[in-house]
Structure 1
Amino acid sequence: MGQQDTPPGVRRGVLFDVDGTLIDSSYLHTISWWGAFRQYGYDIPMASIHYLVGMGGDRLVDSLLPSGRDRSLDEVIMASHGALYAAHWPALRAFDGSKDLLAQCHAGGLAVALASSAREKDLQIMKGILNADAFIDAATSSKDAEESKPAPDILAAALKAIGVEPANAIFVGDAVWDMKAAAALGIPAVGVTCGGISADVLRDAGAVEVYEGPADLVQNLAGSAIGKLLNRVS
């Protein structure tokens, strides 16, 4: 069935990653992971960590640490990262345009979900910073997924929460792992470079289009993949 044959009344939606996409937190996560690794004797370059931010913490640790390590420390390292990151909560801020982007999607008739794999407490802090609950229909956290990104579990949970099929959704994210998770479900992914990953890398990972951040996407919304989805809202 082509787009022109889509039955009226079909629910459509847009999923948003949060860390690095709507909230300027990617580098704070990087330095928190760096500190956690150093606490347990691992000196991992920040550049290596940053590229993997957005991947699930379990996968990030497994990708960066030696295969022969004492794996019983993995959970402790992840908890250390969480504690160090929490110390940065007061420094968190939303990117320019984040609230406006959520508002315009909501006003246009799209169901809006935050497809985040953050810890529940981190998610609540970030939702408070966004101050956009009126425009958000659902939000996920790490507890909603069995497997972390690049597995698509979080996106599947977000789609279920808003009652939208993958064919009627768009996903916005800042990391390679966001693009791969969306591809696993056949959801077009829009990339943003505000998390620190370049446009070329995001496109290579599957992004259908790339913007500098939420404000850039808002400014170009009409011609974007989201704009095309808005035009299909019955």
Structure 2
Amino acid sequence: MTFPELAAVVWDMDGTLIDSEPLHERVFYATCRRHGVNVSDLDAGVFVGVHQYDVWHAVAHRFPPHVTMDSWLADLDAEYLADQGSLTAMPGAAGVVQALHDAGLRQACASNSGTKVVAANLTALGILPFLQATVTLDDVTEGKPGPEPYARACALIGVPPERAVAVEDSITGLMSARAAGLRTIGFASNRHVADKPEFHALADRVIDRLDEVLTLVGAPATAG
């Protein structure tokens, strides 16, 4: 399946454009340990694509009463930003984004991360000039898997959802995009997630490399 009549690509950020999931995981475990909370029993990848509020609600019962959601989230952001120098783009990410821009497609980012984390990620990627909009968890009332992040992104760039495709590495993200009416490309960057039947059921196409997006949307690759 290719995607004719397409006007826009809406990107997930973490694990799709930027290889940030390892840092998110390190930050999560380190912040929990700092508060004396053991979360080693949780399966790897259990929170991939899950926004911070839902992560907190899943683990809050393990924390002492004096630790609030706001203080925990502030700790997470501070730990992440302190190590943002370790962030790297997914292979080919910047070139694909530029090629789509050169082909005349509008682009946006719809992330389940907060504003500070998204800003750090965009700085590391250097793709902000090619995006017409960014939507973070702080911009919506309900994050993924709800439809608002993708619906808002499409509204901001002036493209109907049915003429846009989302590129996502998580089940929650694919659920969000489909609920908003976008077509979906599942990027199999995390095998723990991509091997699940739900991932394939929610994705119109599954890819292993980001440059495959260019073929699916009919955009030429950039030289080099």
TM-score range (shorter-chain normalised) is 0.7 to 0.9
User: What's the CA shift for 1:75?
Assistant: 2.1
Q: Deviations over 1:103-129 (max 9, x none)?
A: 121122211001123222222222122
- Give 2:180's aligned residue: 185
Structure 1 residue corresponding to 2:85, chosen from 84, 87, 90: 90
Q: Over aligned residues, Cα RMSD in angstroms?
A: 2.7
Q: 1:108 to 1:197 in 2, by over 3 A?
A: farther
1:173 partner letter: E
| Counterpart contact for 2:200–2:206, Cα < 8 Å | no
2:95 partner letter: D
Structure 2 residue corresponding to 1:211, chosen from 201, 207, 212: 207
Point out the more displaced range, 27-36 or 188-197. Answer: 188-197
Point out the more displaced range, 38-47 or 86-95. Answer: 38-47
Distance 2:10 2:151 in 1: 10
Q: Deviations over 1:61-107 (max 9, x none)?
A: 21234399749622222221111111210101111210111112112
Distance 1:187 1:71 in 2: 42
Q: Deviations over 1:166-189 (max 9, x none)?
A: 111100011111111112112122
Structure 2 residue corresponding to 1:125, chosen from 120, 129, 139: 120
Distance 1:108 1:53 in 2: 31
Unaligned runs of 5+ in 1: none
Point out the more displaced range, 155-164 or 60-69. Answer: 60-69
Structure 2 residue corresponding to 1:135, chosen from 106, 111, 130: 130
Q: 1:220 to 1:131 in 2, by over 3 A?
A: closer
Point out the more displaced range, 182-191 or 72-81. Answer: 72-81
Paired residues for 1:108-187 under 5 Å = 108-187=103-182
Richer in helix (by share): 1
SS where residue 52 of structure 1 aligns?
coil
Distance 2:124 2:92 in 1: 13
| Counterpart contact for 1:40–1:77, Cα < 8 Å | no
Q: 1:59 to 1:198 in 2, by over 3 A?
A: closer
Unaligned runs of 5+ in 2: none
User: What's the CA shift for 1:204?
Assistant: 4.1
| Counterpart contact for 1:113–1:138, Cα < 8 Å | yes
- Give 1:75's aligned residue: 70
- Give 1:43's aligned residue: 38
Point out the more displaced range, 74-83 or 173-182. Answer: 74-83
Distance 2:126 2:63 in 1: 44
Distance 1:206 1:71 in 2: 40
| Counterpart contact for 1:59–1:148, Cα < 8 Å | no
Q: 1:205 to 1:65 in 2, by over 3 A?
A: farther
| Counterpart contact for 2:115–2:138, Cα < 8 Å | yes
Q: 1:86 to 1:154 in 2, by over 3 A?
A: same
Instruction: Compute the TM-score of the two structures, normalised by the length of structure 1.
Output: 0.81
User: What's the CA shift for 1:49?
Assistant: 6.0
Distance 2:41 2:19 in 1: 17
2:139 partner letter: D
| Counterpart contact for 1:51–1:197, Cα < 8 Å | no
